[in-house]
Amino acid sequence: MTPLIETRGLTRHFGGLKAVEAVDFQLEEGEIRAIIGPNGAGKTTFVSLICGRIAPTSGEIIFAGRDITRLAAHERVLAGIAYTFQITSIFPRLTVYDNVALPVQRRLLKQGRVTQAALDDGVADALARVGLSDRAATLAGSLAYGHQRLLEVAMGLALQPRLLILDEPTQGLSDGEIEGFIALVRDIARDATVLLIEHNMPVVMELAQKITVLNFGQVLAEGTPAEIRGNVAVQDAYLGTGHD
């Protein structure tokens, strides 16, 4: 079966810094995959390469059998890749409804049918999935931080992506919000493939079907949560260093 995402020798250098170095990676459709590793391991750079925010120094990125290595970020969105940022990227002066309406409109334009009813339905569905239906008229900037994070996920879901990339999604969430987030990701995974960067190891171990560990820009290990938990090299590099 063709992987949904595959990278071949993916590399990104910043001057003398080897942020990502010759990474071969495969992600199957329908999977929930976590990427973990120490700070500075290259995690955010790696997913930024996949979503097109930065260009690789060398290597290839294949999405659904198509070479997207040189495709612009907005073209990758249209191809089915949605990305939520480590720091919220909502539009604080717009309402919650309008924040979600923007990606819904983009999706509908691609499909060639933008109507108010379709727009309303798309927004309502995305907000319902993240539990923000009652906040549609609220200014996004006035939401609590945890709700802003959920709004950003709703904006990603509104695109109906094949691949949803979540960068530190539980950062700043309360324990109760984290429990809700875990249920949300499992729900999302019924329709989309999920790739998440996450420092909260209980969340990673509970959610991920497979874990990829990066260290110094390279893949240190890959396997099931049980395999990663028992990997001595991972314990030395990451799990045993006092990280969350």
3-class SS letters over 4-72? CEEEEEEEEEECCEEEEEEEEEEECCCCEEEEECCCCCCHHHHHHHHHCCCCCCEEEEEECCEECCCCC
Residue 179 belongs to a domain with what CATH number?
3.40.50.300
Alpha helices in the chain (DSSP H): 43-51, 73-79, 96-111, 116-130, 145-157, 175-188, 201-207, 225-229, 232-234
- DSSP code at position 182: H
What does the pLDDT read at residue 188?
93
Q: Evaluate whether 207 touches 20 at the Cβ level (below 8 Å).
A: no
What does the pLDDT read at residue 241?
46
* 90-99 mean pLDDT: 96
pLDDT above 90: residue 236: no
Number of domains in the chain: 2
Q: Are residues 168 and 76 in the same domain?
A: yes
Q: Are residues 119 and 20 in the same domain?
A: no
Q: What is the pTM of this model?
A: 0.90
* 184-194 mean pLDDT: 94
Structural domain including 51 reads 1-80+162-244
pLDDT tens per residue, range 18-69: 999 999 999 999 999 999 998 889 999 999 999 999 999 999 999 999 999 9
What does the pLDDT read at residue 110?
86
Q: Final residue of a domain: which of 103, 136, 160?
A: 160
Q: Are residues 98 and 49 in the same domain?
A: no
